[in-house]
Chains A and B, each alone.
Chain A
Amino acid sequence: MLLQILRTYLRPYKREIGYVMGLQLVATIASLSLPSLNADIIDKGVVLGDTAYIMRMGGWMLGVTVLQIACTIAAVYLGARSAMAFGRDVRSGFFRQVASFSSREVGKFGAPSLITRNTNDVQQVQMLVMLGFTLMVSAPITMVGGVIMALREDVGLSWLVAAAVPVLVAATGFIISRMVPGFRRMQRYLDDVNRVMREQITGIRVIRAFVREPHESGRFGAANDDLSDVSIDVGRWMSAMFPTVMFVMNASSVAVLWFGGIRIDEGLMQIGALTAFITYLVQILMAVMMSTFMLVMVPRASVSADRIGEVLGTSSSVVPPEEGITEVNTRGGLEFREVGFTYAGAEHPVLCDVNFSAAAGQTTAIIGSTGAGKSTLLNLIPRLFDVSEGTITVDGVDVRDFDPEALWQRIGLVPQKAYLFSGTIASNLRYGKPDATEEEMWEALEIAQATDFVSAMSDGLDSDVAQGGTNLSGGQRQRIAIARAIIRQPEVYLFDDSFSALDVATDARLRQALRPVTRDATVLIVAQRVFTITEADQIVVLEDGDVVGLGSHDELLTTCPTYQEIVESQLKAEAS
């Protein structure tokens, strides 16, 4: 999956990557040639006492150094840009994929997980790419180049390279293999500690009410200890890393001096080659170490890549039609025909054999206990989910044959949880109608009984709204959400228990004001309070996904036992 994502999203940057590699190649060769030039200075300049030569070679070294920095900077520039552009593209592709999802897929992954995948996981992969651009090229070249150069200096000592590299790989590999699982556990425990901390703050009243402070402290203490223990464990392995690497490198230098000394004494090697050889060996070992580090990142990035790929590979269960219907001349209301809905893999259907029709101008109320399937029924109309069986028609057209935009244009939804977007009151209302004028906005707010509090806010329509609308009260949120639907002037209103947070008087005024606006529309309303729906044209009574009653209030009072119970539960008081 990692490779597939890399292949797909790096393709547009093929040329840049080519340049990066070329530049890195030049830079690496330049830095590899420095010790060799230094060896020349010693062998041909110092030993022969040729100061002019020393100066000339010094000039060369300076030139090579400048070339190296120039190439490196250019490579870093292109590399950083391509890697970050890669991240940007993956994020964008991911975002578009999620946008195409239906509520079912979003629900399957869960919004928080999708958010993490879209940013954190992409970042992981992006960092690997970034590191790859600098190391993937320079490390192997340094290794190969270093070996070649070392061989050029002296073949007889090359066995030292062959001995030192495996020792270093084994030592660092061992330490890293101990560290990596620790890092993972550390991250998990850190999340745990922070979660407990967060829960203590969000649940402070409950904790204090139940006198659970000692219990919470215990829970926190355990998480804290776990985190500290694994941090210490990881930290100790980490402190072994640097000394080990240093020792291997230094021991190699010592070995080169000893065995090099023997070869020089035998006249097989020049003294300058000795210094150069040490430098090359150290460079090779450094490159080996960096590669080992990089390899450590691969599994982590690969997990992230899998998580991204999982989303990219999921297609929406709600597929828009090739050529959707955009224009319908009739206003035929809404019809449910033998509609059933079952979650994938679930034993019991959420909705089963739902039949009813609602003409334009009619109000249909849906009532039933928590979990009876009321919201699901509503969500099927704008195709947030697709029916498993049967059909739903709007204006006589199967909702699945509509162009999605055209379908949604006909619908005004007020969800159960009045979610507002960050911005202003006005920007939220424009969600309903992008080109709404101020008058239209005030009109909608007036109907939604929101004029009072909006005009009381210091900036009126331009007052800030926090994400989710958390700076407004539940009732205020609901009224804005209602205004957002009204301003759209849709053919079909879907109210999903949208008046629950309103006090009774406001509720009544709102319904009164809504009446003229919804005169020609089809209204579906999920309700809890019976008295708010007694005059609906028809009431659908749901019980565990089945329609157990359909008719007017008076009819249902005589025919439907479930309805009677519901009414009983609410109106009993009044009847007495």
Chain B
Amino acid sequence: MTDSSPKTMQKTERISGQMGPGRGPHGGGMIGQKSLDFRASGKRLAGSLRPERVKVIAVFVAAVISVALAATGPRVLGRATDIVFAGAIGKELPAGLDKEQVIEMTRARGDDQIADLLTGVDLVPGEGIDFSALGGVLLLVLGLYAASSLLSFFQGYLLTSAVQNTVRRMRAEVEEKLNRMPLSYFDRQPRGELLSRVTNDMDNLAQTLQQTMSQLLTSLLTIIFVFTMMIYISWTLALITLVTIPISMAAAGLVMKRSQVKFIDQWRRTGALNAQVEETFTGHSLIKVFGRQQEVQDRFDEENEALFQASFGAQFLSSLIMPMMMFIGNLNYVIIAVLGGLRVASGTMSLGDVQAFIQYSRQFTQPVTQVASMANVLQSGVASAERVFELLDADEEISDEHHPRSIDEPHGAVSFEHVSFRYLEDQPLIDDLSLTVEPGQTVAIVGPTGAGKTTLVNLVMRFYELRGGRITLDGLDIAQMRREDLRSQIGMVLQDTWLFEGTIHDNIAYGKLDATDDEIVEAAKATFVDRFVHSLPDGYDTIVDDEGANISAGEKQLITIARAFLANPALLILDEATSSVDTRTELLLQNAMAALRTERTSFVIAHRLSTIRDADLILVMEDGAIVEQGTHEELIARGAAYAGLYNAQFTGPRNGEAMSLGTAG
């Protein structure tokens, strides 16, 4: 680890990209990732709004009216300025004359410029400001703005619920989809990848919908209306402003593109730093004991510095956009102020129009910038949508039979008839396996890792579909039963314990949702959960989760056993259920389990052979096939595979076979 070279880092990232459960704000490089089929996914995303179409149409109408009203505001306000201007100048002029006469007089004095100015002003010499006209215009403006604001609020109000309801629906769709997908999908897909799809991509998509729907529409409408108004006032000045659009767009696009690259870099670096911090904090004690602190520190500093560089670049570039737009806006402002001033002076334009024009041009730059930035948001959003759609389009489990059959009270006779199964097309695992289990029998399955022990019991659960042959329960093909009917007859304790974030009480109650407190405590007592629960801070109300920092692996296993105990199923499957439990507790547990197993068909997978000695049937599996079966005594007598395993485990110390360390000397 002395070389924290790019090579090492790349590896780390690749791995964490696959494995990490989507850490960091945007786990992995999904942002900015080119969409495969932008148009189709974009259309489908827009189509997801269809159930809200009434609202969406109302939003559209409200937005059009609101923006139109807001766009006419400055123009009408310009009229007010003109009235004030006319009044201010008119008052200076001698009363009794008409406007033409005043202009004549001015020109006669040689003040051609002022004369030109006056021609453009609608004034009555000697009259001051026409306050009744001014009041009328101002009231109109106030009304326009009020209506526009109200409609704008109305639009946002409707849009929010339309978008959020759509997102809610999509989330639910994704969740339902997860329930319909075969387990093989979950095996194939790296977990972090899948998690990232259902969380990060979903969030990104929701944000994109909200942002683009509200801003893109108003921005585009504003650009159109404002520009129309500008042309209406003065098309020459409008042309000047029009020139600034491509400049603004290009400038904003350029900076944004670069800052986007930096932002992606920043996210990547944040992810890398996060991974490193996580590793360091998780392996804290090891790093200490192995004296690797300095090295870890150096690596952190390096990553930290890299993050600083990336985030500095990203922040700087993205902060540039606003001032740049302001600069272009100001340039435009200056040009319009000068040209407009010249034209007012020459009488070809009114002051109010210049005033209005300036306001319009100020309103113009912001939406242009926004549209430019929306392009990026939209792109990343559609890329996320595509990943979500991909998930939604994934193959589903074969649906249950239309006329399912069920067994109310199964006896528990299980038989495998020429069963074949493989996870991957080209890798046969189980081939033509047959097996008969009598009701109430305890079947133990032993064998090396990868022999197919877990697969065998998974097939009984119908977690996977067979490739050939059939499995029957009481003579009925399980493929003809509804999965839930089948599974609710079977209690399964898995090798990998799984607790959800919640109290110990609730985690046990998962086995039987309507269990009473007494039943839960009873199950907990039978499985020795009760014993350690009392040493926890909040007893049964102690919150645990899958990371389960506050309880040990053995204790977690006990909780999952309590769950199955509570469920009280007809069939029982125990897959390495007690591997982390200490042997004394395990022995006590055995007695409880034995009680649970009587009269029940059970499948038990165990490493510790002592726990399965009294099984009715022991299956020895190797490479997906049953190589031996019989009772303990029969198999020991045979002296083959099972006897070998058994002897290795139990007779070791007898022979003094170097089972202890450093002592034999």
Contacts and interface: CB of A to CB of B under 8 A. Distances in A.
A265 B129 contact: yes
Contacts of A549: none
Contact of B300 (A38, A92, A422): A92
Nearest to A348: B535
Interface string A176-206: 0000000000000010011101111111111
Contacts of B70: 246
A157 interface: no
Interface string A509-543: 00110110011010101001111111111000000
B297 A96 contact: yes
B653 to A, nearest CB: 4
Contacts of A41: 337-338, 341
Contact of B319 (A58, A134, A363): A134
Given A193-B171, A198-B21, A537-B663, A504 B77 contact: no
B175 interface: yes
B581 interface: yes
Interface stretch (B229-237, B323-331, B407-415, B437-445): B323-331
Contacts of A91: 273, 304
Interface string B338-353: 1001101100000100
Contacts of B156: 235-236, 238-240, 242-243
Contacts of A208: 183, 461, 463, 483, 487
B327 A251 contact: no
A12 B83 CA distance: 58
A228 interface: yes
A217 B174 CA distance: 11
Interface string A360-374: 011101001111000
A422 B273 CA distance: 13
B33 interface: no
A511 B658 contact: yes
A251 B334 CA distance: 26
A146 B584 CA distance: 80
A422 B11 contact: yes
B3 to A, nearest CB: 9
A250 interface: yes
Given A532-B660, A570-B610, A202 B498 contact: yes
Contacts of A475: 449
A467 B77 contact: no
Nearest to B159: A239
A251 B171 contact: no
B399 interface: no
B114 A49 contact: yes
A48 B114 contact: yes
A114 B282 CA distance: 10
B580 to A, nearest CB: 8
B117 A46 contact: yes
B592 to A, nearest CB: 14
Interface string B211-233: 00010000000000000000000
A313 interface: no
A197 B202 CA distance: 11
A427 interface: yes
B288 A466 contact: no
Contacts of A163: none
A518 B312 CA distance: 52
Contacts of B8: 423-424, 427
A95 B345 contact: no
A565 B584 contact: yes
Given A49-B117, A190-B203, A243-B150, A434 B2 contact: yes
Interface stretch (A295-303, A328-336, A389-397, A405-413): A405-413
A208 B319 CA distance: 50
A408 B288 contact: yes
Interface string A481-499: 0001000100000000000
A236 to B, nearest CB: 5
Contacts of A368: 582
Given A54-B341, A87-B308, A467-B12, A264 B290 contact: no
Contact of A232 (B145, B161, B304, B305): B161
Interface in B381-397: none
Contact of B308 (A72, A88, A206, A533): A88
A85 B320 CA distance: 18
A384 B658 contact: no
Contact of A235 (B164, B176, B511, B584): B164
Name A's interface SS.
helix
B391 to A, nearest CB: 11
- Of the four ranges (under 10, 10 to 19, 20 to 34, 35 or more), the interface on chain B belongs to 35 or more
B138 to A, nearest CB: 5
B81 A275 contact: yes
B259 to A, nearest CB: 11
Given A224-B168, A264-B129, A533 B138 contact: no
Contacts of A247: 145-146, 149
B285 A512 contact: no
Contacts of A371: 532, 535, 552, 555
A349 B459 CA distance: 47
B538 interface: no
Interface in A433-471: 434, 464, 466-468, 470-471
Contact of A415 (B2, B89, B286, B335): B286
Nearest to A49: B113
A352 interface: no
A145 interface: no
Interface string B158-175: 011101110110011011
Interface string B13-40: 0011011110010000000000000000
A73 interface: yes
A528 B660 contact: no
A421 B656 CA distance: 36
A531 B652 contact: yes
A64 to B, nearest CB: 8
Contact of B73 (A211, A250, A537): A250
B344 to A, nearest CB: 5
Among B161, B288, B342, max chain A CB count under 10 A is at B288
A524 to B, nearest CB: 10
Interface in A555-573: 565-566, 568-573
B643 interface: no
Interface stretch (B191-199, B471-479, B519-527, B615-623): B191-199
A62 interface: yes
Contact of B179 (A111, A199, A217): A217
Interface in B282-305: 282-286, 288-293, 295-297, 300-301, 304-305
A515 B658 contact: yes
Contact of B351 (A46, A81, A83, A521): A46
A186 B129 CA distance: 54
A310 interface: no
Contact of B661 (A221, A363, A484, A530): A363
A511 B487 contact: no
Interface in B624-665: 645, 648-654, 656-665
A572 B289 contact: no
A388 interface: no
Interface in A51-67: 51, 54-55, 57-58, 61-62, 65
Given A98-B281, A239-B159, A419-B286, A198 B199 contact: yes
21 contacts: A34-B334, A48-B114, A72-B323, A81-B316, A92-B301, A99-B297, A209-B492, A228-B168, A243-B153, A258-B138, A264-B88, A361-B662, A365-B660, A404-B291, A409-B291, A422-B11, A500-B579, A508-B648, A514-B661, A570-B583, A570-B587
7 closest cross-chain pairs (CB), A and B: A239-B156, A49-B113, A235-B160, A535-B660, A58-B338, A569-B587, A243-B149
